[in-house]
Amino acid sequence: MNEQEKDRKPGRHISRRILLGGAATAAVVLLKSSYGQVVQKAITQAELKISDPTKVLGPPPGEVGTRSKFEKPVKKTSDTSSRTPLQDLFGTITPSDLHYERHHAGVPVIDPNNYSLTIHGMVDKPLTFSLADLKRFPSVTRIFFLECSGNYRSGKETMTPQEICGLTSQSEWTGVMLSTLFREVGVKPKASWFLAEGSDAAVMTRSVPVSKGWEDAMIAYAQNGEAIRPEQGYPARLLLPGWEGNTSVKWLRRIELSDQPWMTREETSKYTEGVKDGKIRQFSFVMDARSIVTYPAYPQQIQKGWMEIRGIAWSGRGKIYKVEISTDGGRTWNTAKLQDPVLDKAHTAFRYLWEWKGGEAEILSRAIDETGYVQPTMKQLKEARGEDMGGYHLNPVTSWLVQRDGRVLFKPEN
């Protein structure tokens, strides 16, 4: 028995940490002083001696809640992005502080009192809206995922779901439909494109077909029940459900209507991808269907017996229709159970009961959306788009290899 197991033995209430006299704060207790005042005192594990929570008054409520100190999900960061720990999450809403981030020039600080959004160009009545103006319009609340079109990594066996495809997250967004603002300014019938411009140091700009503006684009000022986070575009951002994350311009300050696209940097030198015969595809907005098993996955080690294979599936084209699971490397497929509600353009949780009897296994998931689109393998992607397809819009089926000892490794595609 190792040290940890010993600590978990019933009847053994004193942790190793206490025996070692660890000085970390164990609890905050409230004591009544001799004058009747309630005073707070932080006590250490060593002072506490016992780990029975029924014997100590717990800390009082705080102004903001905290995560259990035993849970430490973290984003994996680089200088320009951070990735959601998909393997640590349950359900489908990403806690706001774990939402992936992608900034081309950092997170700007914007005073909501100085914020404005101007809509001009091919409109009857150019207007500038303050944040308060935006909040006065009829609001909408909607759940959908965001995903960077560069959301794919591979190359080694020791990769987690977060490392492979953590550039996707899901929130409940609240804001005003862009169509509401389009009516307010009177978008001219001839206008077929609009430019969305951010007020970060990148002054990010993207051209978007006006039809998306009429259909389901929104200007969001809230995320998961509170003001949108600075990292997500505070105080307001454009959101284009199901489209590549880059088009959902954050810190949105300007929308201009026109009858042609602007050919900005983000839609010419970036966010384009090779297709066959040396051709380049541009304005590839829609995120195709994808899924990933988040349990079991690297770096977990499984035990023999029954378990729930779990994961998420999503599609920018609509609802997830079906998720299929294979545990034999793709020879046979079984239908996973989808967790209700299955929403349009939203992460959808799936589960599949499986008994691991020992021995090697290869677990795969494959998403099929309501349009009939089937998540491809890397081989199929290469066949369809050629070897020079670049790094955007890669949504291959992900495989996990279960070793004889139960360790799970990622199987890099080739």
Ligand X SMILES: Nc1nc2c(c(=O)[nH]1)N[C@H]1C(S)=C(S)[C@@H](COP(=O)(O)O)O[C@H]1N2
Binding residues for ligand X (CB under 6 A):
99-104, 146, 148, 198, 200, 202, 204, 231-232, 245-246, 248-251
Question: What's the min distance (Å) between Cβ of 70 and ligand X?
Answer: 27
The least distance separating Mo ion from the CB of residue 414, rounded to whole angstroms, comes to 25
Which stretches does DSSP call E strand in 33-167? 38-44, 76-77, 81-83, 101-102, 116-121, 127-130, 140-147
By three-state DSSP, how is residue 144 classified? strand
Closer of 95 and 386 to ligand X (Cβ): 95
Closer to ligand X by Cβ: residue 110 or 367: 110
Give me the least distance between CB of 269 and Mo ion, in Å please: 14
The least distance separating Mo ion from the CB of residue 151, rounded to whole angstroms, comes to 8
Q: And the tokens for 80?
A: 């320009």
Nearer to ligand X, 229 or 382 (CB): 229
- Residue sitting closest to Mo ion (CB): 148
Of ligand X, Mo ion, none, which one does residue 168 interact with (CB within 5 to 8 Å by kind)?
A: none
Q: Is 265 left (phi over 0), alpha (psi -120 to 50) or beta?
A: alpha
- How far apart, in Å, do the first and last CA atoms of the chain sit? 42
Report the residue closest to ligand X, judged by CB.
198
Q: Which C-beta is closer to ligand X: that of 249 or that of 402?
A: 249
174 SS3 class: strand
- Please tell me the distance from the alpha carbon of residue 320 to that of residue 308, in angstroms, as a whole number: 20
Other CB atoms within a 10 A radius of the CB of residue 275 amount to 16
∠ at Cα 339 (335, 344), nearest 5°?
100
Partner that binds at residue 104, options ligand X, Mo ion, none, CB closer than 5 to 8 Å by kind: ligand X
7 CB-near residues (< 8 Å, 6+ apart): 15, 16
410's contact among Mo ion, ligand X, none, with CB below 5 to 8 A by partner kind, is none
Residue with Cβ nearer Mo ion (233 or 245): 245
Q: Which is nearer to ligand X, 206 or 310 (CB)?
A: 206
Binding residues for Mo ion (CB under 5 A): 102, 148, 245-246
Minimum Å gap between C-beta 401 and ligand X is: 30
Whole-number minimum distance, CB 28 to Mo ion, in Å? 42
Residue 182 is inside which H or E element, if any? helix 178-185
